[in-house]
Amino acid sequence: MPRKNYGDVDAIRKKMADAKGGRMTDPNEFRPPQVKEGESFKFRFFILPPFEAGEKCADGEFTQTSELFYVQNGSHWINNKPYPCPRIHNDEECPMCSLGFELMGETQDKKMRSQIARQYLPQQKYAMNIYFPNDKANPEDLRGTVKWFNPGQSIYNKMEACIMNDDEGDPADPQAYGIFYDPYESYLFQLVVGFKGGYRNYDESKFLASVGKRPIAAKDKKPLESRIDEILAQRHDLFTKFDEPDTDKLASLVKSMTNGDGDGDDDGFDDDDDSVDESVKADDDVVIEDEEDATEDAEDAVEEEPKAKTKEKKKAKEEPKEEPEETVAEDDSSDDSDGSDGGEDDDELASLMAQLGEDD
């Protein structure tokens, strides 16, 4: 008998993760680190443009065309398993969301409504390709790499605001405006991961408008065309990162919940019992770092040599290390076994409320 090949470790990992009920941690996904009170982390990256089916990418060729720079996604989490939402993925009716909206319609109590939203509605996310330039704000192992990033509403809002803005401001106070993902004229995005009200917070994140639009790779301020092509070819096929929604499965889950044992105790959801912090939108004044400093740093970022990077070099340290559990002290379900990214973002509620058209 010929010797069998057991070598496809990626496939096995995925199967095992599926069996366990979690999602594989994709080494190509950039996940912001956990933070504690008083801590904050800063990263700088360029957002890469939309892609066309057949274009070269890190996974071979893109399987689909993305019209926008992001791919919208979101999952219902039931018994620690993600169920992609047909409403968010395909703009189709979703039985689980319908149930959530129906239950929310039955109460006017704001806290109740947000709890229902949290339990029944998925958080809307926006997957995009990003490129970390050789900037000293970035950890060394990220520099020069293309990752995909799946932020929630609050970061997305900053990007949307840039696209919607026509006003470049004045030289003393430049504003980010228009298309920010043209690799020849791109803004550097500065992600600031802070901590507020018990959650990760991204309020201080922004495009570095003061540095202006620039090529994502340049030498003496001139775009490095071949390096730009190389970077674009390392983008990830975002559509393959998510399973297709299974509306029938969601419908049967809804059915079992609504016809269940009737006492409402076992509704199929995990009781994660984290009460929604109503104060997440409190407007603290934050000291923005010295813009000149930022400009200087960002200048470094673009004086980038087209170094021959060994793509295959594995970077064990890329993913944030296991974080102490006290990061999200009141949440004992944050052991990451559900495949979500452990810590909670305060934009979760913002996202849900946005879906409901409640923006207060």
Return the ∠ at Cα 175 (arms to 174 and 180), rounded to 5°: 120
Q: How far is the CB of 125 from Zn ion (least distance, A)?
A: 13
Q: Is 352 in the site for Zn ion (CB under 5 A)?
A: no
Among 47, 71, 96, 301, binds Zn ion (CB under 5 A): 96
Give the span between the Cα atoms of 102 and 82, in whole angstroms: 21
Q: Is 87 in the site for Zn ion (CB under 5 A)?
A: yes
Do 205 and 176 contact (CB within 8 A), yes or no?
A: no
Q: Is 78 in the site for Zn ion (CB under 5 A)?
A: no
Residue range at the interface with Zn ion (CB under 5 A); choices 90-98, 269-277, 299-307, 334-342: 90-98
Do 146 and 129 contact (CB within 8 A), yes or no?
A: yes
β strands within 3-124, DSSP E = 29-30, 41-47, 56-57, 60-61, 71-73, 75-78, 81-84
Q: Which 8-state DSSP code applies to residue 24? A: P
Residues between 5 and 44 that touch Zn ion (CB under 5 A): none
Residue range at the interface with Zn ion (CB under 5 A); choices 30-38, 78-86, 307-315, 352-360: 78-86
Q: How far is the CB of 97 from Zn ion (least distance, A)?
A: 3
Q: Which of 198, 194, 204, 190 is nearest to 38 (CA)?
A: 194
Q: How far is the CB of 127 from Zn ion (least distance, A)?
A: 17
Q: Is 85 in the site for Zn ion (CB under 5 A)?
A: yes
How crowded is residue 262: how many other Cβ atoms within 10 Å of its Cβ? 8
| C-alpha separations of 268 from 77, 93, 254, 354 in Å | 10, 21, 9, 25
Residue range at the interface with Zn ion (CB under 5 A); choices 77-85, 134-142, 267-275, 280-288: 77-85
Q: How far is the CB of 90 from Zn ion (least distance, A)?
A: 10
Q: Which of 132, 126, 125, 124 is nearest to 50 (CA)?
A: 126
Q: How far is the CB of 252 from Zn ion (least distance, A)?
A: 14
Give the span between the Cα atoms of 31 and 123, in whole angstroms: 16
Residues between 103 and 162 that touch Zn ion (CB under 5 A): none
Q: How far is the CB of 84 from Zn ion (least distance, A)?
A: 8
Q: Is 280 in the site for Zn ion (CB under 5 A)?
A: no
Give the span between the Cα atoms of 140 and 179, in whole angstroms: 28
Q: Is 97 in the site for Zn ion (CB under 5 A)?
A: yes
Residue range at the interface with Zn ion (CB under 5 A); choices 12-20, 48-56, 79-87, 323-331: 79-87
Q: Is 94 in the site for Zn ion (CB under 5 A)?
A: yes
Q: Which is nearer to Zn ion, 41 or 77 (by Cβ)? A: 77
Q: Which of 241, 235, 242 is nearest to 129 (CA)?
A: 235
Tokens of 341: 């990214």
Residue range at the interface with Zn ion (CB under 5 A); choices 15-23, 59-67, 95-103, 313-321: 95-103
Q: Which is nearer to Zn ion, 57 or 85 (by Cβ)? A: 85
Please identify which residue in the block is written with the tokens 């009170």.
37
> Which residues of the chain form contacts with Zn ion (CB under 5 A)?
85, 87, 94, 96-97
